[in-house]
Structure 1
Amino acid sequence: MNETTLPEPQEIHINDMADPVITPMLEAARQGPDDRPAHMTVDEVLAQAVANAGGLDDFGEDQSFRERMAVTLQAWDEDEGLTRGGRITLLDHLVRVMVNRLRIEDIVKRHPEILDIEIDRPLFIAGLPRSGTTHLVNWLARDERLRSLTLWEAEEPVQLRDLAPGEVDPRITRSAELWSAFEAVLPHMAAMHGMDAASIHEDNELLYMDLNCYSWEFQSRIPRWIDYYFAHDRTPSYAYEKKVLQVLTWHRGPNRWLLKSPQHMENLAAIKSVFPDATMVITHRDPIAVLRSLTTMLGYSDRIRRDPIDPPALARLWMERIERLLRACVDQRDAWGPDQSADILFHEYMADQEQVMRQVYDLAGLDLTPEVEAQLLGYLNENPRNKHGKVIYDLEGVFGLNEAAARERFSFYYDRFPVRHEG
């Protein structure tokens, strides 16, 4: 591959992490709309979802999500550091995913043939946050033989009406407006994890519909919910995700899916149970490097949703959470044999991305045609690392976390997967 000489990325230093400068736009986001409740009950959430869905009221036969919702709401009520705007954002998200569930159940009821659609040998990508999974899934999505999930489609999976010729799907417009407003308040987010409506997104949004998505943890501090989550089998929620994938395939094929989420790393056995013919690719990166990047990203965005910010508490929380995730990964890794899975070390991936591409295609039994190879290599040229600037991380100075001590906690992971320590 020909390499283009690129200018050195601009360094981004976030110097107000613990005590952010509060702009009028940020203050408005922290306060939230005056006419919206900051606390809701399960019944109130479901009633609002029914209203927003135009009167649809069938959430499906399995009602176990109600208990998970009750735990979620209680955990949010116990999170005293959330701003009013942060609470409203979470509740809005909860209502939206319940609207999506109503629409999924409605379309399956009207078109029961959807449940006969085969989800053929899906390709799952798992790996810690900030370990290259977003880059990998957006890269492989250039292959149009694979069905991937855009951000706007993840947020609203059911198409409500046919579009006129040349009409832009209003779901795209809504998603673009939402994330444009978010990045206007937090301009450095694009350099850490830009959210573009057309980009390929995690399938976490599909797990939200069964109230079993770990991404609530990125927006709030909810130990009650985490304990409940790990104490219960997540297999039924992946079965619900399969139903959503069938609906999405019915709207638009093909039926071989490309999916990714860090959450999959702690649910390897559940995925193997629901998708036995899948291919599983797991990226592995030094957890300390992940913590540096993740705490900075979350600490920066916490200025919207938390008061006070408390970066050290955030770092401790995520050190414990990542340890829990990695222990689950190690415990469940043998659910996948070498004929259906691969472990990709981050430093090897960054050193030779083309080799990783060939490894994944060989594992998945996909023919790497010259046309597809040209599309994939074109993506690499268009999307170099640090395209939007390079954020400078300081896990010890800003977040008060002793890196040497933290490495000791992750020794079990280093023993299983030979990731390179990143200084």
Structure 2
Amino acid sequence: MPGATLTIDDLTRPVLNPSQRQILEQLDGLTVDLNPAALIDEAIAKTGLNDFGPADFRSRLDAYAAAADADGGNTNLNRLILRNRILRLLSQRLLLTDLLRRYPEIHDIEIERPIIVVGLPRSGTTHLVNLIAADSRRRALPYWESQEPFTLRGEGPDVNGVDPRFARSVFEHESAMVMTPLVQAMHDRFPQAIEEEVELLDLDFASYVLEWHARVPQWRDFYLALDQDAHYAYLRTTLKALTFLRGPRQWVLKSPQHCEQLGPLMRTFPDATVAFTHRDPVAVIQSAITMLAYGDRIRRREIDPAGLAEYWIGRVEQLLRACVRDREMVAADQSLDIPFHQLNGNEMTILETLYAQNGTELTTEARTAFQRYLDENPRGKHGRLRYDLQGHFGRSPEDIRSRFGFYFDRFDVREEG
């Protein structure tokens, strides 16, 4: 049975528990250096490697680190998280470059007929990609692997056969549950959950994902000006490397970022089958900013509900305007528009259409796996949140929805609430 309805009474004026306070206080006096040169040196020392691949990444790394450093509202905990993220990205980039050097045949691998889920955050993309990944013939990107796609040299499974990358992901997830225990009800990134490939794009310091970790409008503007064809090609190479290590199977991918990058996406994966999910932007925005505000109790020195709402209303509008503008770049026989109100309970019909377009047989084994996933993962499994858009953020549904007439005119989207 689905979990209970949850209310966060202290969303905008958080009351921290003793563990949260202790960790934040312990780190408060720490100096966290985001200097790119120092992080590069540390990544080289950590991996024993020094070739990052194409050198043009450096200007993007500088912009990435500068944007994170310019956000003065971060707690030291979040600055440390951001520092560790950049170090991890640099280390993984070194490991990928080394793998490609040792096994050049990776470049000959084809990424054929992937299914790619494209839609706003909180619009059913996570549900759909995890469902499709239940088909054992599909290759997907679990969260633990998205964080460390490639192993450090000399590292291997422990005596119980557990990958150390997975073990680290389990530890980090358990720590996150201590700091933000209600995150499961919003978007539980447990180690086995299927994650977005923008985490791989970030190895090239070229995705929008930093926007979810800090207030970085200067990074948003820098990212939007990039030639994404080059960076999606880097993503394709990374997928080839992962296929080489743990394949071959057809991929299932997903990211909201693709809404505003449909040209690069389809030029990179021209034979992809694309599943577009569509939901009332009000429902999307209130869910996303509530999740972000809840996490901000440990990430930020102060909660800024009005600023959070304004930023993400504008950001979602950018994503959707680009999607409406470019939707016809994806051929009708390679794509399907899926309204959110038709997703829950109608998954098998949707999968039949997608698999037919993809030229993949929907076997009895796959159908059984899909049904098992649906039975074990009902909507609201970990509980549902009660939202208060007006009380928490000072915005009415009507005010927000008035900016999205262009989207309602183009797709079959129903107002929620």
TM bucket normalised to smaller: over 0.9
In structure 2, the residue corresponding to 1:58 is in which secondary structure?
coil
Return the offset for 1:156. Answer: 1.0
After superposition, the C-alpha distances for 1:263-311 in whole angstroms (9 at most, x for unaligned) are: 1111111011111111111111111000111111111001111111111
After superposition, the C-alpha distances for 1:10-30 in whole angstroms (9 at most, x for unaligned) are: 111101111111223213443
Does the CA contact (< 8 Å) of 1:31 and 1:85 recur in 2? no
The aligned runs of 1:262-277 (5 Å cut-off) are 262-277=256-271
Is 1:123 the counterpart of 2:122 in the alignment?
A: no
In structure 1, the residue corresponding to 2:277 is in which secondary structure?
strand
TM-score (norm 2): 0.96
After superposition, the C-alpha distances for 1:183-236 in whole angstroms (9 at most, x for unaligned) are: 111111011111211121111210110011212111111111111111222111
Question: What residue is the counterpart of 1:412 in the other structure?
Answer: 406
Which residue of 158, 164, 173 maps to 2:167?
173
In structure 1, the residue corresponding to 2:206 is in which secondary structure?
coil
Q: What is the distance in 2 between the residues matched to 1:29 and 1:216?
A: 23
Question: What residue is the counterpart of 1:314 in the other structure?
Answer: 308
Q: What is the distance in 2 between the residues matched to 1:412 and 1:276?
A: 27
Is 1:327 the counterpart of 2:321 in the alignment?
A: yes
After superposition, the C-alpha distances for 1:142-170 in whole angstroms (9 at most, x for unaligned) are: 11111111111111111345547851111
Is 1:191 the counterpart of 2:203 in the alignment?
A: no
In structure 1, the residue corresponding to 2:88 is in which secondary structure?
helix
In structure 1, the residue corresponding to 2:275 is in which secondary structure?
strand
Question: What residue is the counterpart of 1:3 in the other structure?
Answer: none
After superposition, the C-alpha distances for 1:116-167 in whole angstroms (9 at most, x for unaligned) are: 1111111111110001111111111111111111111111111345547851
Q: Which one-letter code corresponds to 2:109 in the other structure?
A: I
Question: What residue is the counterpart of 2:36 in the other structure?
Answer: 42
Question: What residue is the counterpart of 1:59 in the other structure?
Answer: 52
The structure where helix makes up a greater share of residues is 2
Question: What residue is the counterpart of 2:69 in the other structure?
Answer: 77
Quick check: 41-50 or 99-108, which moved more? 41-50
Q: 1:376 to 1:32 in 2, by over 3 A?
A: farther
Q: What is the distance in 2 between the residues matched to 1:43 and 1:357?
A: 47
In structure 2, the residue corresponding to 1:398 is in which secondary structure?
helix
Q: What is the distance in 2 between the residues matched to 1:221 and 1:34?
A: 19
Q: What is the distance in 1 between the residues matched to 2:45 and 2:39?
A: 10
Question: What residue is the counterpart of 2:93 in the other structure?
Answer: 101
Q: What is the distance in 2 between the residues matched to 1:269 and 1:32?
A: 47
Does the CA contact (< 8 Å) of 2:34 and 2:69 recur in 1? no
Q: Which one-letter code corresponds to 1:137 in the other structure?
A: V
Is 1:371 the counterpart of 2:389 in the alignment?
A: no
Q: 1:342 to 1:29 in 2, by over 3 A?
A: farther
Return the offset for 1:254. Answer: 2.0
Gaps of 5+ in 1: 1-5
Question: What residue is the counterpart of 2:384 in the other structure?
Answer: 390
Q: Alignment identity in percent?
A: 43
Does the CA contact (< 8 Å) of 1:158 and 1:247 recur in 2? no
Does the CA contact (< 8 Å) of 2:273 and 2:354 recur in 1? no
Q: Which one-letter code corresponds to 1:410 in the other structure?
A: F
Which residue of 27, 30, 33 maps to 2:24?
30
| Cα root mean square deviation, aligned | 1.6
Question: What residue is the counterpart of 1:245 in the other structure?
Answer: 239
After superposition, the C-alpha distances for 1:26-52 in whole angstroms (9 at most, x for unaligned) are: 134435657964232221121121122
Does the CA contact (< 8 Å) of 1:86 and 1:306 recur in 2? yes
Q: What is the distance in 1 between the residues matched to 2:32 and 2:305?
A: 24
Q: What is the distance in 2 between the residues matched to 1:305 and 1:66?
A: 27
In structure 2, the residue corresponding to 1:280 is in which secondary structure?
strand
Which residue of 226, 234, 245 maps to 2:220?
226
Q: What is the distance in 2 between the residues matched to 1:226 and 1:417?
A: 26
